[in-house]
């Protein structure tokens, strides 16, 4: 669903923009300026929300659903020794598979295993079944016994992202493979009986189809030495190739080709090599639609404090076309990042942790109008605070206004305790102008008509009158 074409009521957009401006500095993420919280393209606006940690160190993205709602991450966490005199050896800890839901903004553990001196665990492969909330994970746990004999337990997990549950649906052998269709919600589980002393073309294999619900189809015996070469472009057929050992010296091995229908499990020989789509998963960045008008781009920068120099890698969200606000800072130092399909969330990895930045995608014209209204509202609010502060000052100083020659901001700041109110919300530059010459309150005969100052904002200014009321005056 393309959210950029949905125009929300301007009042709602204004409130949302104001909320983002007010809360962006409270997220624990790198601070952003007002101008860097939004990226404008030719027709849309992407407003950056506050970053949130979705997985602590050490974590990395393992896969995501095709619609971008769910993300699976692998995390390895080691326990620190309680004392400096801990015995030497590999540290103990835990490896886990985390599921993050971009709609609920929640992370949960769907699988975990302890690791230590005699126990190891790996997550070899994570792949989503296209168009579903289901993923497959190939995990191995290795346990060493007292006599140093290793015992491997390799399993195929089915992860239901909608329920947050994972279960083992098959036990895998050392050489077994799982080939996920690039289009259809199915995978081929190929169980291989291979020997290190025999050529690969003599390996005996069987194949079973795994469905999105975890159901596993009947066994299909494959020709000797057959291996998965790839899927058809529509993902409905798996092509297999078997090498035939030459019968005479000097001859080359020949290839026999087969096609297996994913829906029926029927294996049929074919005469020639077919058109094949690679079975290996695409990089995560390739899963993001090329039609997105924004992208993530990394850079390099150098920080210097006296004689200390540090190289950092800032990460930007930027428009793919030229615009008046072409980029926004996602992170001041990050290893990598990407925009999820749909353009509603950006993910990045920094110092071993994973962060998510929500992106509000909306019509550019509607955003600019809403931002102006929000900034005008902020200008009026600033003017009201300054007007109240001036009235408090007058009460404390024998009902006398400060003169125009006084450092007016410093005079009223103790009553506000926030110098941001003196700025123009649109430019972040100076905004408050004191126009009254000063003198006793009694000299003002009509407070409601006596202008004592104003605060500039987008498209006008907020006039401050002696009785404390504010009037917006367009340019």
Residue 145 pLDDT > 50: yes
In terms of Cβ atoms closer than 10 Å to its own Cβ (0-12, 13-18, 19+), residue 426 is buried
User: For 114-269, where are the alpha helices, taking DSSP H only?
Assistant: none
pLDDT tens, 438-449?
999 999 999 999
In this structure, of 62-66, 90-94, 249-253, the range with the lowest mean pLDDT score is 249-253
For residues 234-250, average pLDDT:
85
Question: In whole numbers, what is the pLDDT of the chain averaged over residues?
Answer: 86
The answer to whether the pTM exceeds 0.75 is yes
Residue 115 pLDDT > 70: yes
pLDDT of residue 150: 63
Residue 194 pLDDT > 50: yes
Handedness of CA 165, 170, 176, 181 (dihedral sign): negative
> At a CB cut-off of 8 Å and minimum separation 6, what does 341 contact?
66, 67, 68, 287, 288, 289
> At a CB cut-off of 8 Å and minimum separation 6, what does 220 contact?
206, 207, 208, 260, 265, 267
For 472, the token pair is 């917006």
> What are the structural domain ranges in the chain?
366-474
CA-angle at 330, arms to 325 and 336, nearest 5°: 125
Beta strand pairing call for 52-55 and 353-363 = antiparallel
pLDDT tens, 100-113?
999 999 999 999 99
Residues 316/38, Cβ–Cβ less than 8 Å: no
Question: Which residues partner with 114 through β-bridges?
Answer: 94
For residue 285, give the nearest of 1, 50, 137, 64 by alpha carbon.
64
pLDDT of residue 404: 82
Residue 298 pLDDT > 60: yes
């Amino acid at each position: 669903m393309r959210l950029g074409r949905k125009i929300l009521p301007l009042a709602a957009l204004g409130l949302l923009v104001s909320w983002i401006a007010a809360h962006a500095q409270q997220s624990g993420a790198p601070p952003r300026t007002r101008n860097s919280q939004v990226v404008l393209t030719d027709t849309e606006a992407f407003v950056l929300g506050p970053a949130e940690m979705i997985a602590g160190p050490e974590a990395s993205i393992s896969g995501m659903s095709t619609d971008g709602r769910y993300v699976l991450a692998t995390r390895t966490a080691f326990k620190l020794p309680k004392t400096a005199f801990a015995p030497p050896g590999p540290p103990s800890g835990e490896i886990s598979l985390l599921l993050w839901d971009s709609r609920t903004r929640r992370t949960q553990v769907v699988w975990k295993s302890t690791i230590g001196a005699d126990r190891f665990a790996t997550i070899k492969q994570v792949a989503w079944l296209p168009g579903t909330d289901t993923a497959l994970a190939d995990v191995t746990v290795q346990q060493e016994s007292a006599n140093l004999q290793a015992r491997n337990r390799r399993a195929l997990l089915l992860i239901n992202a909608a329920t947050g549950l994972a279960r083992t649906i098959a036990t895998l052998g050392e050489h077994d493979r799982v080939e996920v269709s690039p289009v259809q919600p199915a995978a081929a589980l190929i169980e291989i009986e291979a020997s290190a002393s025999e050529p690969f073309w003599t390996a005996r294999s069987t194949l079973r189809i795994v469905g999105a619900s975890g159901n596993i189809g009947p066994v299909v015996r494959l020709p000797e030495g057959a291996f998965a070469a790839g899927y058809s472009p529509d993902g409905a057929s798996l092509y297999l190739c078997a090498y035939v050992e030459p019968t005479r010296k000097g001859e080359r091995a020949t290839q026999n080709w087969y096609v297996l229908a994913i829906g029926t499990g029927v294996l049929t020989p074919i005469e020639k090599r077919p058109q094949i789509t690679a079975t290996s998963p695409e990089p995560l960045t390739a899963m993001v639609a090329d039609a997105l008008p924004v992208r993530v781009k990394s850079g390099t920068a150098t920080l210097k404090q006296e004689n200390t120099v540090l190289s950092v890698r800032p990460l930007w969200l930027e428009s793919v076309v030229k615009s008046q606000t072409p980029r926004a800072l996602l992170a001041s130092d990050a290893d990598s990042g990407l925009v999820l399909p749909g353009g509603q969330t950006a993910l990045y990895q920094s110092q071993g942790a994973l962060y998510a930045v929500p992106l509000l995608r909306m019509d550019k014209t509607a955003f600019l109008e809403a931002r102006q209204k929000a900034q005008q509202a902020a200008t009026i609010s600033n003017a009201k605070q300054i007007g109240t502060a001036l009235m408090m000052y007058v009460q404390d100083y024998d009902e006398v206004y400060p003169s125009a020659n006084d450092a007016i901001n410093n005079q009223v700041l103790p009553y506000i305790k926030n110098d941001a109110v003196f700025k123009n919300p649109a430019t972040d530059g100076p905004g408050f102008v004191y126009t009254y010459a000063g003198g006793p309150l009694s000299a003002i005969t009509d407070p409601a008509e006596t202008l004592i100052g104003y605060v500039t904002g987008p498209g006008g200014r907020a006039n401050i009158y002696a009785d404390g009321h504010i009037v917006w005056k367009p340019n």
